């Protein structure tokens, strides 16, 4: 019944800080449109950003910065992601480690964004 994820929402302390971090570290493209939340676009997906105190309706029952925990799939080898994180001074919490993703075995690493969300970036074995 469901084909794929279109977008999800993260509640953040600062849209500016989040867009700067995700643009610099992950290469996301910022999208702004009047009357809509700022978004981070990549591939065929996006992450909408709701800033604390300036959220959009409808929204989660208890939106809280730092409560996200999600996995993104890399378009490059995981070593390239690791090198980029280290070059940008982003501490890696764990990895690379072997994990089981939605499509099978993958190698992942974990880090935190400025709000403390746990970000997993994985790469499927080719």
Residue 109 in contact with residue 97, Cβ under 8 Å?
yes
Residue 41: which residues within 8 A CB-CB, separation 6 or more? 28, 29, 30, 31
120 is catalytic: yes
Question: Which among 16, 57, 93, 120 is annotated as catalytic?
Answer: 120
Q: What architecture is the 7-124 domain classified under in CATH?
A: Roll (3.10)
Residue 71 in contact with residue 101, Cβ under 8 Å?
yes
Answer yes or no: pTM beyond 0.85: yes
Query: What is the DSSP track for 23-57?
Result: HHHH-PEEE--TTS-EEEEETTEEEEEEETTB--S
Per the document, the length of the chain is 126
Query: Residue 65: pLDDT band by 50, 70, 90 thresholds?
Result: very high
Residue range 6-31: mean pLDDT, rounded:
97
Residue 126 has pLDDT above 80, yes or no: no
Please write the tens of the pLDDT for every residue from 31-59: 999 999 999 999 999 999 999 988 788 98
Residue 77 has pLDDT above 80, yes or no: yes
């Amino acid at each position: 019944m469901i084909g794929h994820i279109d977008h999800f929402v993260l509640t953040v302390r600062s849209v500016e800080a989040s867009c700067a971090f995700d643009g610099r570290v992950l290469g996301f493209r910022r999208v702004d449109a009047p009357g809509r939340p700022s978004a981070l676009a990549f591939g065929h997906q996006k992450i909408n950003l709701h800033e604390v105190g300036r959220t959009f309706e409808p929204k989660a029952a208890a939106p809280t910065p730092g409560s996200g925990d999600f996995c993104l799939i890399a378009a490059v080898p995981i070593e390239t992601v690791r090198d980029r994180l280290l070059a940008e001074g982003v501490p890696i919490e764990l990895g690379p480690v072997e994990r089981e993703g939605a499509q099978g075995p993958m190698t992942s690493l974990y880090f935190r964004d400025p709000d403390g969300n746990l970000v997993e970036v994985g790469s499927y074995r080719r």
